[in-house]
Structure 1
Amino acid sequence: MEYKWTAMTTVFIATLIGSINMMIILIAIPAIFNGIHIDPLNSFPYLLWILMGYMLVVAILLLSFGRLSDMYGRVKMFQLGFLIFTVGSILLYFTPSTGDAGALEIIIFRIIQAIGGALFMANSAAILADAFPADERGKALGINTVAGMSGNILGLILGGILAIFNWRYIFLVSVPFGLIGTILSFYKLKELSIKAVKTKLDIWGNLTFVSGITLLLIGVTYGLIPYGNNPMGWNNPWVIASMSIGLISLILFPIVETRVESPMFDLNLFKIKSFTFGILATLLSALARGGAMILIIILLQGIWLPLHGYSYASTPFWAGVYTIPLIIGMIVMAPISGILSDKYGPRWIATSGMSLVTLSFLLLIVLPSNFDYIELGLILLLMGIGNGMFGSPNNAAIMNSVSAKDRGVASGMMFTMFNTATPASIAIFFTIVVIGLTQRFPEAMTSSLAGIGAVQLAPLMSNIPPTGALFSALLGYNPVAGILSTLPSSFVALIPHSTLTTLTSTTWFASTFENAFIPSLKISFYIAAIISAIAAILSALRGEKYIHNDETIKTDSKADLNPQPLESKEK
């Protein structure tokens, strides 16, 4: 087997298990909380950190790990990442405690997993770029995108199936992949990268970037948690301070990088138009897609599936199944668009892809709330095709635009943009929805109760917090049943049996939630469409096909350790 396909196989496994690990949690979180005996609706910090902690840690570490890989070797860092990820998966399977201690252990072990994930994610694209020639990188990155999308499907399905048997199996499934990937990476991968000329660690650059992104994302996360009498925490002084200090640190980062001896990120890369516009398009694409996709899942889980007779417990699994057209579109188009971009250049293929994504969001806006699934399925397929057309050419353009010695940091920057924009997107769209629910949900609840002759319950039911209603929809819970279980039995006995049956049915809360949720959902889709359109414009502005013209890599050790200055040229 040619080495490039050995590298592809190993990186494919890393991407597959990383994407499985992200999506399997989304489906299995109710089973995990039941397993450690915690109510997720009354444990928002634990819920958010288990759902988003992995993503936050990966976003924080990617750029630093990318630079370290350029300095000390990408394969070494990739191998270490696989090993740490596997250890984290084993620790998660053996989580010893329950209650608050169990939740904290899962968060800590997920952070260990994330450190490993960041190490192999920061180097995946760079290892492929090292192994494949420039005219095949689009194809290689397209095939690797298939791994990510396939992992999303497998994660959703495996999460739904394994949670039925034992919540620990959700983490155990990562172990075989991790062991195989660790063995392959140690015995089959070769270090082809050129080490950076200057190998002094940039302490101040790492400090300002890591502290800035950490504080900013922590602030974003806790902004989603209710504070005092407010449904969200954006006015929490700690959230304001965290985000403010984080932004100041990130503003200082480029200033620091122009003054230190060996910067962790070469700001001259932003002089390369193909790199700059590709990175910005990546950021905006993830900003539009991340939160919007969660809202589509909420639309299915919290409204459409219950209204069509699915039990709340089964909705997370079926929501995953019903989003498969999106994944299919990406799986089909990612390698095709990668191959086409190798031949014709990435500019118009990627631009057309983001234009299709923009169109799909506009179609979601006009989709009726009582839609037939075929309508949603076709829109999701169109969105998947658009994302597939954009991702592979855009990523290949970024990796082709930099020199061989900068591929690690370029890969780290690319995935940092994606993993930073995704939680930020979730925070933006959740805030829009929660503001809308705060205004509309009490009135919708009162109106629905009056419609079934139970208006006396309005003071109790209207107190369901907007975030509680939102997370109920996301996790497959019916909060009405939980509220009724907390009432005195003498009070419940006065409620007619027919009314209780209606309240606890799969349709009543879903229809009530729908009336308050849909207006905010459409506003979110408008914003996502605008962001996607801007990403399409940036993609078009990147210029024609551009490949960095590296000097031929010599095989002697002196040349490897002391590469000559590199030149660039446009094709």
Structure 2
Amino acid sequence: MVQYKWIALSNTTISVLMASINGTIILISLPAIFRGININPIQPSSFQYLLWILMGYNVVTAAFLVTFGRLSDIIGRVRLYNLGFAIFTLGSILLFITPNTGDLGALELIIFRLVQGIGGAFLLSNSAAIITDAFPPGERGRALGINQIAALAGSLVGLILGGILATINWRFIFLVSVPVGILGTIWSYLKLKETGGRAKGEGIDWIGNIVFAGGLILILLGVTYGLMPYGGSQMGWGNPYVIASLIAGAGLLASFPFVERKVKYPMFRLELFKIKAFLMGGISQLFFAFAFGGIMIILIILLQGIWLPLHGYSYSVTPFWAGIYMIPMMVGFVIMGPISGALSDKYGARTLATLGLVIVGLAFIALSTLNYNFNYTEFATIIFIMGLGSGMFGAPNTTAIMNSVPRNHRGAASGMRSTLQNSAQTASLALFFTIIIGVLAATLPAALSNAVTNAGAPQLAPVLSKVPVTSALFSAFLGYNPIGSILSTLPHQLTSSLSPTVVATLTSKQWFPEAIAPSFMHALRISFYIGSAMAFIGAIISALRGGRTIAEEVENIPDLTRSIKSKKNEM
């Protein structure tokens, strides 16, 4: 008979596989999705749809991970995990049948992604806790490493599948998750069982839940709309609603620790932060997610919008080839994930996790040395090494966090770990987009004016200099030359003055990428420097985590300090 621990690992691995396929398949297929629902990237309002489809899922999961994790400690991890599988599958079905196009279709996609996010929050807040419950301490690193392989394998499969399906029908992109979700839902309801401790007799901390979720949602909403144009500015950080949202969200989160000290049954035990391994592991996870969370989409924009068109690829196939060319990063992660997980079982997390973050930081610096027309072999080598570093960090750090927490609080701990990661990933996207939009706002108008003048159409310079930066960025991401759309809106008297040769040059697949490439690469280098700094800060924090810490199997949080035994075999 198959041991239960392998049933738990295989089922949670399916959920991770499904979620990771869903993440990258949408990322790589957004050009086909937006073309399928007839969204024009030149319209200033279109950029908000891109942001919400990319970030809405993370906003929901980040807001509810701790809440759902704490509920799982009270109600049962498997029960809520099973519910998450069903909700996620429902969201995938709704996305597949999205009935409308245009703005309404985009709104439907966003809402259905939020449904997926609720299901994902149930899955993410419980999967690591279920594995930790099922495996003994000496095998958890290997188990979480295998789980991590599924996450990265799913990301790889998503990139390739997205590129293939995007050329057939955009709806198939969402259909992929449905059979996996149905299989996983049935299997989880039939085979998974409660093995973790319960916080029996405890109530739900409604005040804490509202304060935490409300604060996080307000901050993430403020960050999202801060990237939208406002008035005459290319970004919305001066928007009074954005400022109010950020201040109110920060105020609620600042009050959260005080609320948790007063309520009878807090949603998160602040005493867990007294465990050094939990505290340092969580903070280093936060900095890693800040550094790494936005890198995938930034590199895909670089490939789809600039490098591939300049190397002769048509816009219709750039999503597929962007996925193929990102494979080295996934391979590095898949290779190192199980190795580092197994090693952390024997030697602890500190050295492995710290070295992994250092490697990621050095890879960011290496990326900053490339120009926009880079040699692919160099690019592939750098992202492969970056994948190795991230794999070296992931499983050991997760294992160290989960090992340090008593059994009956692993749901809340897993939720908090995932919240730190998802919130930081969302903030990372916002940070990278802010840098790119800010730099492009300062440099792109002059670059487009010079480019159109050099192409023989100086009369278009005033028009091109006023193209919104977000529209240019959106067009690059979708692999779309906006010049044709722009020319169609201009007076006939102006367009008739252009020779056929000039029009052919401006509407070619090389002209627009070449025009925006220098400004875009300047912005990317600044992003890479910041990503590198975040990774190095995370490495310093990781090095301060101390030796291995394993919590004994206890039920009482008041006895927390006596439930921890610290092994002194520090690396």
Note if contact 2:362-2:532 (Cα within 8 Å) is conserved in structure 1. Answer: yes
The residue identity in structure 1 corresponding to 2:40 is D
493, 498, 506: which one pairs with 1:495?
Answer: 498
Q: Does structure 1 residue 51 correspond to structure 2 residue 54?
A: yes
Q: Does structure 1 residue 131 correspond to structure 2 residue 127?
A: no
1:504-531: CA deviation from partner (whole Å, max 9, x where unpaired): 1121111111121122211111111111
Give the Cα separation in 2 of the matches to 1:526 and 1:570.
36
Give the Cα separation in 1 of the matches to 2:479 and 2:367.
22
Q: How many residues align?
A: 562
Note if contact 2:47-2:474 (Cα within 8 Å) is conserved in structure 1. Answer: no
Root-mean-square deviation over aligned CA pairs: 1.5
Note if contact 1:349-1:393 (Cα within 8 Å) is conserved in structure 2. Answer: yes
Flag as ranges the 4+ runs of structure 1 deviating above 6 A. none
The residue identity in structure 2 corresponding to 1:371 is F
Note if contact 1:71-1:199 (Cα within 8 Å) is conserved in structure 2. Answer: yes
The residue identity in structure 2 corresponding to 1:142 is G
Q: CA deviation at 1:212?
A: 0.2
Q: Which residue of 1 aligns with 2:235?
A: 232
Q: Which residue of 2 aligns with 1:510?
A: 513
The residue identity in structure 2 corresponding to 1:495 is L
The residue identity in structure 1 corresponding to 2:506 is L
Secondary structure of the residue aligned to 2:122 is helix
Note if contact 1:40-1:47 (Cα within 8 Å) is conserved in structure 2. Answer: no
Q: Which residue of 2 aligns with 1:245?
A: 248
Q: Does structure 1 residue 151 correspond to structure 2 residue 154?
A: yes
Structure 1 residues 404 and 329, CA gap change in structure 2 (3 angstroms): same
Note if contact 2:37-2:101 (Cα within 8 Å) is conserved in structure 1. Answer: yes
Q: CA deviation at 1:110?
A: 1.5
Q: CA deviation at 1:40?
A: 4.0
The residue identity in structure 2 corresponding to 1:479 is P
Q: Which residue of 2 aligns with 1:557?
A: none
Give the Cα separation in 1 of the matches to 2:481 and 2:285.
37
Which moved further from structure 2: 78-87 or 492-501? 492-501
Q: Does structure 1 residue 88 correspond to structure 2 residue 101?
A: no
Give the Cα separation in 2 of the matches to 1:197 and 1:517.
55
Q: Does structure 1 residue 451 correspond to structure 2 residue 476?
A: no
Give the Cα separation in 2 of the matches to 1:315 and 1:487.
29
Q: CA deviation at 1:330?
A: 0.4
Which moved further from structure 2: 329-338 or 425-434? 425-434
The residue identity in structure 1 corresponding to 2:547 is E
Q: Which residue of 2 aligns with 1:554?
A: none
Which moved further from structure 2: 57-66 or 294-303? 294-303
Give the Cα separation in 1 of the matches to 2:452 and 2:104.
39
Q: CA deviation at 1:450?
A: 2.2
Give the Cα separation in 2 of the matches to 1:199 and 1:251.
25
Secondary structure of the residue aligned to 2:547 is coil
Q: Which residue of 1 aligns with 2:29?
A: 28
Q: Which residue of 1 aligns with 2:566?
A: 570
Give the Cα separation in 1 of the matches to 2:541 and 2:558.
33
Q: Does structure 1 residue 175 correspond to structure 2 residue 178?
A: yes
Q: CA deviation at 1:91?
A: 1.7
Secondary structure of the residue aligned to 1:569 is strand
Note if contact 1:313-1:477 (Cα within 8 Å) is conserved in structure 2. Answer: no
With normalisation by structure 2, the TM-score equals 0.96
Q: Which residue of 2 aligns with 1:264?
A: 267
The residue identity in structure 1 corresponding to 2:494 is F
Give the Cα separation in 1 of the matches to 2:544 and 2:324.
37
Q: Does structure 1 residue 345 correspond to structure 2 residue 348?
A: yes
Alignment of 1:305-344 (within 5 A): 305-344=308-347
Q: Which residue of 1 aligns with 2:117?
A: 114
Which moved further from structure 2: 119-128 or 288-297? 288-297
Give the Cα separation in 2 of the matches to 1:568 and 1:149.
32
1:252-304: CA deviation from partner (whole Å, max 9, x where unpaired): 11110111100000000000000000000111000011223322222222221
Q: CA deviation at 1:197?
A: 4.2
1:7-62: CA deviation from partner (whole Å, max 9, x where unpaired): 11100110011111111211222322232232244222222212221111111111
The residue identity in structure 2 corresponding to 1:209 is F
Q: CA deviation at 1:99?
A: 2.5
Give the Cα separation in 1 of the matches to 2:489 and 2:172.
32
Which moved further from structure 2: 535-544 or 500-509? 500-509
Q: Which residue of 1 aligns with 2:8?
A: 7
Note if contact 1:314-1:476 (Cα within 8 Å) is conserved in structure 2. Answer: no
Note if contact 2:65-2:122 (Cα within 8 Å) is conserved in structure 1. Answer: yes
1:412-467: CA deviation from partner (whole Å, max 9, x where unpaired): 01111111011111111111111111111111112212222211110111111111
Q: Does structure 1 residue 37 correspond to structure 2 residue 50?
A: no
The residue identity in structure 1 corresponding to 2:291 is A
1:493-549: CA deviation from partner (whole Å, max 9, x where unpaired): 321111111111121111111121122211111111111000001111000111112
Give the Cα separation in 2 of the matches to 1:104 and 1:523.
33
Which moved further from structure 2: 185-194 or 423-432? 423-432
The residue identity in structure 1 corresponding to 2:20 is S
Secondary structure of the residue aligned to 2:316 is helix
Which moved further from structure 2: 91-100 or 537-546? 91-100
In the alignment, structure 1 segments of 5+ residues that lack a partner are 552-559
The residue identity in structure 1 corresponding to 2:18 is I
Q: Does structure 1 residue 429 correspond to structure 2 residue 432?
A: yes
Give the Cα separation in 1 of the matches to 2:42 and 2:255.
38
1:55-97: CA deviation from partner (whole Å, max 9, x where unpaired): 1111111110000001110000000001111111112222222
Which moved further from structure 2: 293-302 or 439-448? 293-302
Give the Cα separation in 1 of the matches to 2:201 and 2:285.
29
The residue identity in structure 1 corresponding to 2:38 is H
Note if contact 1:194-1:563 (Cα within 8 Å) is conserved in structure 2. Answer: no
Give the Cα separation in 1 of the matches to 2:524 and 2:42.
22
352, 363, 367: which one pairs with 1:360?
Answer: 363
Give the Cα separation in 2 of the matches to 1:335 and 1:312.
37
Secondary structure of the residue aligned to 2:564 is strand
Q: Which residue of 2 aligns with 1:411?
A: 414
Give the Cα separation in 2 of the matches to 1:296 and 1:250.
33
Structure 1 residues 488 and 143, CA gap change in structure 2 (3 angstroms): same
Give the Cα separation in 1 of the matches to 2:528 and 2:154.
26
Give the Cα separation in 1 of the matches to 2:166 and 2:436.
29
Note if contact 2:47-2:471 (Cα within 8 Å) is conserved in structure 1. Answer: no
Give the Cα separation in 1 of the matches to 2:201 and 2:542.
33
Which moved further from structure 2: 432-441 or 473-482? 473-482
Which moved further from structure 2: 309-318 or 270-279? 309-318
